[in-house]
């Protein structure tokens, strides 16, 4: 076979020449190239044809620095974070009309880094256009957007007069503590439900959320209905009226009342309520509060979920609250039944001999009680419970239950652990709340700190509650602090913590030193 010749096709002995691609010379520079309708190479095409001609290289975008939103003409404001898909969509809409007029298609876009203080946003676009007898040419094109700061309508009203609100949500709960509001505060922060509020103010018995739009307030009320048993009423007040255009301006008020039953409360059910719940109680513990109330009979481990509408039928109150818990020491314990799991929580019936810590060593008063904490308690442990033996009760349902039933002298609620230091390796974010003069008093400040510390201890004991919140790493925590804490004290695993992103002068100084 001669060099350069092709082998015989199919063994027939026929000579088949090798297929070669045809080339032509560029009409401008003479470079050998694949033939095309223009008879020009790609370099010459780009030199003679500019597909970005007429496409703007500069544009402007309006930004509200208070709420981090961008103006979408004519009057819409959209919230977007730096270099986010939402911001990319807002910027591309500014140049879509020139691209459509020039019949240029967009095949790609990406952000180009710019300093935050430069008030510039840069994009690199990849444009595609058909030129010279069906040839498709693609080219990159930079676009720079100048950011103009301007307050949106709601922020400008808030800056001019903070009281120019349109709707207010008055959240109230008639209980002697603020544990429920500490819990709801973390849920609001995690889901961003309070971010649209103009301001949040403390009020006697609750919080007030002020909004610049009625829809924002209604959205907060809808969210609260999914996480807590609430009762809502609405009202509106006429502010102004334009007789020519028949435009009415109202101020709306949403009054939200949270059910006064809280977790760990002891409740004495009335005869009718006990019968309707299948003979539950009469003494029950509230073990969980969502949009329904979970009631546990500590003597039989039966759990009943009571919705808010059904609760309003009975409208019972807590006979004893967590403020009245008494500390006991466990002398002996004997398990009665195996451990079971109900709604994700573990329980075990057991008989325990306990004595009040305040009486320990002073008298020989010992109580033998039935408890649902058999899987947690051991001899020598401490537990918190309600002292029905020496309590001064002012509840009609409790008085009826005492006359009709043989009630236990002590109802244990939870295991008690050693007091831990206030500095933890995790922390929570807080809402910016405007405090009134009554809350700034010295006694109230100490009371709120103690309630917040008790709330943090409850979080360490309840993984299910932690799952609903965002816990962040505490940069001020030192590892040597852990040596002062007992081994049996529950702690939050480090896997559940989130890095708290903070941008400040410290990071800028570190960057300058590295340079």
Domain ranges of the chain: 24-153, 161-258, 265-415
Q: How far apart are CA 436 and CA 203, in angstroms?
A: 7
The pLDDT of residue 97: 85
pLDDT reported for residue 421: 61
Q: How many Å apart are CA 343 and CA 290, to the nearest integer?
A: 13
Strands (E) in 336-439, as ranges, are 340-342, 345-347, 350-356, 367-371, 382-387, 410-416, 426-427
Percent helix, percent strand, percent coil in the chain, to nearest 5: 25, 35, 40
pLDDT value at position 490? 74
Query: 486, 211 in Cβ contact below 8 A?
Result: no
Phi first, then psi: what are they for 408, rounded to 5°? -70, 155
How far apart are the C-alpha atoms of 277 and 268, rounded to whole Å?
A: 13
CB contact at 8 A, 315 and 259: no
DSSP string, 18-50: PP----EE-TTT--EE---TT---HHHHHHH--
pTM metric for this prediction? 0.68
Residue 112 contacts residue 142 (beta carbons within 8 Å): yes
Helix, coil or strand: residue 303: strand
DSSP β-ladder status, 167-172 and 247-258: parallel
Task: Give the pLDDT of residue 75.
Answer: 82
Beta bridge partners of residue 231, listed in sequence order: 257
Q: How far apart are CA 233 and CA 225, in angstroms?
A: 13
Asked if 354 and 380 touch (Cβ cutoff 8 Å), the reply is no
Note whether 382 and 391 are within 8 A (CB).
no
pLDDT along the chain (515 residues), means of 10: 53 69 80 78 75 86 90 87 90 87 87 90 89 76 93 75 81 90 92 86 91 91 94 92 85 94 91 89 90 92 91 89 91 91 89 89 86 91 90 78 84 84 80 76 79 88 86 74 57 77 44 37
Phi, psi dihedral angles at 104 (to 5 degrees): -110, 130
Q: In what order do the strands lie in the sheet with 197-203?
A: 197-203, 206-211, 167-172, 247-258, 230-242
Using only C-alpha atoms, what is the Rg of the chain? 35
The sign one gets for the Cα dihedral 481, 426, 229, 254 is positive
């Amino acid at each position: 076979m001669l060099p350069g010749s092709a082998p015989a096709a199919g063994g027939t002995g026929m000579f088949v020449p090798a297929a070669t691609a045809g080339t032509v010379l560029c009409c401008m520079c003479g470079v050998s190239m694949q033939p095309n309708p223009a008879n020009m190479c790609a370099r010459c095409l780009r030199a003679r044809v500019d597909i970005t001609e007429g496409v703007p290289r500069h544009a402007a975008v309006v930004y509200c620095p208070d709420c981090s939103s961008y103006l979408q003409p004519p009057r819409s404001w959209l919230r977007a974070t730096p270099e986010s898909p939402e911001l990319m969509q807002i910027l591309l809409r500014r140049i879509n009309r020139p691209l459509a007029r020039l019949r240029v298609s967009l095949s790609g876009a990406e952000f180009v880094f710019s300093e935050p203080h430069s008030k510039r946003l840069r994009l690199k676009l990849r444009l595609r256009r058909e030129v010279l007898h069906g040839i498709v040419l693609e080219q990159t094109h930079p676009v720079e957007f100048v950011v103009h700061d301007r307050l949106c309508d709601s922020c400008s009203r808030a800056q001019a007069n903070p009281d120019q609100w349109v709707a207010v949500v008055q959240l109230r709960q008639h209980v002697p503590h603020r544990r429920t509001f500490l819990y709801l505060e973390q849920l609001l922060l995690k889901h961003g439900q309070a971010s649209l509020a103009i301001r949040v103010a403390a009020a006697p018995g609750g919080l007030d959320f002020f909004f610049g739009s009625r829809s924002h307030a209604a959205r907060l009320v809808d969210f609260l209905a999914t996480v807590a048993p609430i009762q809502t009423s609405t009202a509106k007040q006429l502010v102004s009226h334009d007789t020519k255009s028949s435009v009415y301006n109202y101020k709306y008020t949403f009054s939200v009342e949270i059910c006064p039953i809280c977790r760990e409360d002891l409740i004495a059910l009335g005869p009718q309520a006990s019968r309707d719940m299948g003979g539950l109680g009469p003494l029950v513990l509230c073990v969980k509060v969502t949009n329904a109330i979970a009631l546990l009979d500590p003597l039989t481990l039966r759990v009943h979920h009571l919705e808010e509408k059904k609760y309003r039928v009975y409208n019972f109150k807590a006979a004893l609250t967590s403020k009245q818990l008494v500390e006991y020491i466990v002398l002996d314990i004997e398990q009665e039944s195996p451990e079971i799991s109900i709604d994700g929580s573990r329980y075990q019936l057991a008989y325990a001999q306990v004595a009040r810590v305040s009486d320990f060593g002073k008298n020989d008063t010992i109580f033998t009680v039935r408890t649902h904490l058999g899987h947690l308690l051991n001899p020598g442990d401490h537990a918190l419970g309600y002292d029905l033996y020496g309590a001064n009760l002012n509840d009609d349902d409790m008085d009826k239950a005492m006359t009709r039933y043989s009630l236990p002298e002590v109802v244990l609620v939870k295991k008690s652990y050693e007091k831990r230091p206030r500095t933890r390796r995790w922390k929570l974010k807080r809402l910016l709340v405007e405090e009134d003069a009554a809350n700034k008093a010295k006694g109230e400040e100490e009371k709120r700190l103690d309630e917040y510390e008790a709330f943090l201890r409850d979080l360490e004991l309840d993984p299910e509650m932690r799952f609903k919140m965002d816990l962040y790493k505490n940069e001020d925590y030192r590892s040597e602090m852990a040596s002062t804490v007992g081994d049996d004290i529950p702690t939050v695993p480090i896997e559940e913590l989130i890095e708290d992103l903070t941008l400040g002068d410290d990071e800028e100084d570190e960057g300058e030193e590295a340079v």
